[in-house]
Structure 1
Amino acid sequence: MLRNKVPEVTALFWVAKVLTTAMGETTSDFLVHRIDPPVAVAAAALVLVGVLALQLAVRRFIPWIYWLAVLMVAVFGTMVADVIHVQFGVPYLVSTSAFLVILAAVFALWYRTQRTLSVHRIDNHPRELFYWTAVMTTFALGTAVGDLTAVTFGLGYLASGVLFGVLFAIPGIAYRWWGLGGTAAFWMSYILTRPFGASLSDWLALPPYRHGLGLGTGLVSLVLFAGIVVCVAVTSVRRQGPPREDLPDAVAA
């Protein structure tokens, strides 16, 4: 059996998660506007496969490998959701609904075979594969949802970011004071980090005619990357202390 191969769920985890979702959005936009889109998508897919293979090969949680994998999932997941809409003309409402059904199916199969969805028990290969499948689906779903509210519903990126920021906080509040199970609270918040971070990064990067501040996808991506590096460095330093015992399973489902 492997040691648990995902980070402890702390405030630093959520900061890093929001930063990677935000950077995934701006980096995807940066690449597809400077490289032939099919080439950009293929290159991102190859890098993602390589990084995920490395993550699956190691037998313990290594911060830089884990967060690099999350970042590449963010970049590729954004590309997939955008390609479905831009290249194939699928409305955001349709893609959102489809990704939601796929995610529900992943969770159902995961629970049926493993009897838990807890991130405190990613300690064998089937659970790790289910975990990363769920992560990839949440990124595609979150991208579609964020664009649905910002573009289709006309809220704009800043208002969407504020909306999803509030929604992101609700599961944590419900877990702390209203008795919501830990696993349910985690996955609800995890899904919402994607539209939360992506909407804010779009607002920072996109030009004013698209209701953004016009800072540019390249600059915003670099700043976000610096923040991720700091988070990974702090996590790595903390792990140099005595090894922790794996946390108990917060809830079975």
Structure 2
Amino acid sequence: MSSRVRLGVNIDHVATVRNARGGAHPEPLRAARLAIEAGADGITAHLREDRRHISDADIGALSELCHGLGKPLNFEMAVTAEMRDIALRHRPHAACLVPERREERTTEGGLDVARNHAAIAPVVRALRDAGVRVSLFIEPDPVQVAVAEAIGAQVVEFHTGAYCEAVIHGRDPAPLLEALKRGAGEAERRGLEVHAGHGLDYDTAQTVAAIPQVVELNIGHFLIGEAIFVGLETAIRTMRTRIDAARPGA
């Protein structure tokens, strides 16, 4: 495959900064609009059970914005009845089911679909029946990929955190990158669309984007952090350039 890799911009941490002061600034909706103007192909937002960053009102506003601009909203959510009902109410373009623990600072790994398939499958089915495209955030493990297919997911998003941490801390990232490549190949063989995200920066995003089966990267923390120094538009445009460089023929 040589098609252009889509870039989804996660705006959770704009809301983190806003909530630190309890006011209305900076506004996630404004960040989403700027991201789209800068070249984002879609917006990602994670409504956590503890509401530590994105709020219910944010999801409503983002749904309206993305629908009005013809851009997809990727709604990240835990596998709970509450989140299922919120997703069914707003019917975003896509819902990405992720693991969630209240004490974690950020999502620490992939969803264990193999162990928890009995609880996950009904949520996948309900979302699909409502016309929502369902993604599962998993490790690039062939068993997890196989179960994702079996319970009806259309997309798998591979957790790239371990690979990115290895790069940052000077450990050998080659085995982890190879696992991502093998997982992407297995997902493609099973008819699943392949996305990737977590911990990606300019360099690691370009490397992961070069994996032929990857069609979308979802990136948030790095872009929001980089925006402090260069502005959100420049950060996103630079990321877009780096991702495109991974597929020069696209």
TM-score category of the 2 structures, normalised to the smaller one = 0.3 to 0.5
Q: Which has the higher strand share?
A: 2
Name the TM-score, length of structure 1 as normaliser: 0.38
Q: Which has the larger radius of gyration?
A: 1
Name the TM-score, length of structure 2 as normaliser: 0.39
Q: Which has the higher helix share?
A: 1
